[in-house]
Amino acid sequence: MYRFPIFFSLLLMGALALAIGCSGSSDENPGGPLVLSVSTGFGGVLNQGEALTFSASGLNINEFPVLVEAIAEGGSVVSMARLTADNQGRIDDVIIAYDVGFFPDTGDGRLSAGEYTIRLTSLKGTVERTVAIPTAPTDPIVWGCDIDGNLTNAVLVGEPVFVAARALKSGANYRIWPVIDKRAWNDGDIISSWSDDRPLVVWPPGIQEYIEVTSNAGGEIEPIQLLPYATKILPGVTDQFDIVLDAEPFGVFNSVTDAVDGQLPTGIVVQDVHTGGPIYAQLASHRDYTYSNNFKVGDKIYIWLNPSVILDQNSLYVLKYILLHSDIWEDGMTIEDITGGVELDPVQEGCVNEGIILAWILAQEGVYDILLDINGNGIYDEGVDVLDGGPGGPGFIVTE
């Protein structure tokens, strides 16, 4: 099982003693009770394969750290996040565990079937919620996989993409589509081709827009090839797509009969092998998942990642640093966050996808870089950690 590096443990212990927010005092109280909400998936039941998210309100303004833990029935902490409340005392929709129920054993960042306590600890107190992950799918599920049906969240360029599904009607007809990544699927959404009117997406030549399949007597679709090979638009650019299982009548999403691999955060990421040198990526973002290099004083700075190359597969948690810009980043450099707090949360296994979180509550004028400390050791490791900035220019600029 993956264990925290010593640096991780020290940061967590130190963070619990802090009473200062990421951009100022946390003693202002916006009022209202402390509330923790936990996602329960379509229809109020958390299905296998979904991401478990939470949100919170009633926190102190700009409070850091707010610690959220997923605790198994035996009392062990199996996933965690250390976060910042915004200027309304809120934390919105953060993923605490990915692909729930897909792992035979509970481990760091993973939730197998069973009951869990989600606990939030803040300066205003502690609040808990209970969530149950079923031993079998409660609704149709579809997932990207290898030829043996094992969950896959990323594929290399040129590799085939397989797909499997469960909890279906016996002998029913389905279409399975690879479609442009969508942040949330809702009833009535049109299921359109990856290639429809999207000039930036290169549909592999000779590949059909969906496959047609029929579930077996057990209501399953055994692993079947969805794409003969994964492609990218441009080298160094991350491509990602969702996989939608579409029941009759075709073409419109129905959460009762259909399923999606990629409700949160995405279905499949297409990656390259890292061949050496620094790893760069866009990281600075607005809340709506739009990356940006330019912000205004007082803006909120969010961070999220879909890596274009394979990252350290043993890293199930990462630390997020916002730093003064440097034109030179050397292996082994120490790193110092300028916002008053270093956020931590889990990543998606296999691809190291990073869900969106608030990292700086009130941006100040200046020029900055962002570093994702993938192995959590408190220093810059070239070829391991991910940098937004460096010699090619800053990660982002904040102006009046």
Dist. CA 175–CA 238, nearest whole Å: 26
Name 197's Cβ contacts closer than 8 Å, sequence gap at least 6.
Answer: none
The angle subtended at Cα 211 by Cα 218 and Cα 223, nearest 5°, is 45
Exposed e or buried b for every residue in 323-336, given b needs 16+ CB within 10 A? bebbeebeeeeebe
Domain that holds residue 246: 141-271
- The three-class DSSP label of residue 10 is helix
The angle subtended at Cα 149 by Cα 147 and Cα 152, nearest 5°, is 90
Q: Which CATH number does the domain housing residue 151 bear? A: 2.60.40.1930
Total domains in the chain come to 1
**The pLDDT of residue 233:** 60
Asked whether residue 256 is domain-assigned, the answer is: yes
List, in sequence order, the alpha helices (H) in 96-237: none
Residue type, 372: L
Asked whether residue 297 is domain-assigned, the answer is: no
Asked whether residue 237 is domain-assigned, the answer is: yes
- The three-class DSSP label of residue 8 is helix
Dist. CA 214–CA 168, nearest whole Å: 10
Dist. CA 210–CA 262, nearest whole Å: 16
- The three-class DSSP label of residue 53 is strand
Asked whether residue 198 is domain-assigned, the answer is: yes
Dist. CA 52–CA 96, nearest whole Å: 6
Dist. CA 31–CA 61, nearest whole Å: 10
**The pLDDT of residue 137:** 93
User: Both tokens of residue 173?
Assistant: 């007809």
Note whether 341 and 18 are within 8 A (CB): yes
Asked whether residue 165 is domain-assigned, the answer is: yes
Asked whether residue 159 is domain-assigned, the answer is: yes
CA-nearest of 283, 273, 384 to 331 is: 384
Dist. CA 310–CA 108, nearest whole Å: 20
Dist. CA 144–CA 284, nearest whole Å: 28
Asked whether residue 382 is domain-assigned, the answer is: no
Asked whether residue 300 is domain-assigned, the answer is: no
**The pLDDT of residue 29:** 61
- Strand-pairing partners, residue 142, are 165
CA-nearest of 141, 129, 130, 125 to 176 is: 141
Note whether 270 and 232 are within 8 A (CB): yes
Question: pLDDT (tens digit, 0 to 9) for every residue of the chain, 400 residues total?
Answer: 344 454 455 455 454 444 333 433 445 566 689 999 998 777 677 899 999 999 999 999 999 999 999 999 999 999 999 999 999 999 999 999 999 999 988 888 899 999 999 999 999 999 999 999 999 998 999 999 999 999 999 999 889 999 999 999 999 999 999 888 888 899 999 998 765 555 444 556 667 789 999 999 999 999 999 988 887 765 544 578 899 999 999 999 999 999 999 888 889 998 989 999 999 999 999 999 999 999 999 999 999 998 889 998 788 899 999 999 999 999 999 999 999 889 999 999 888 888 899 999 999 999 999 999 999 999 999 999 999 998 988 999 999 9
Dist. CA 368–CA 366, nearest whole Å: 7
Note whether 154 and 204 are within 8 A (CB): no
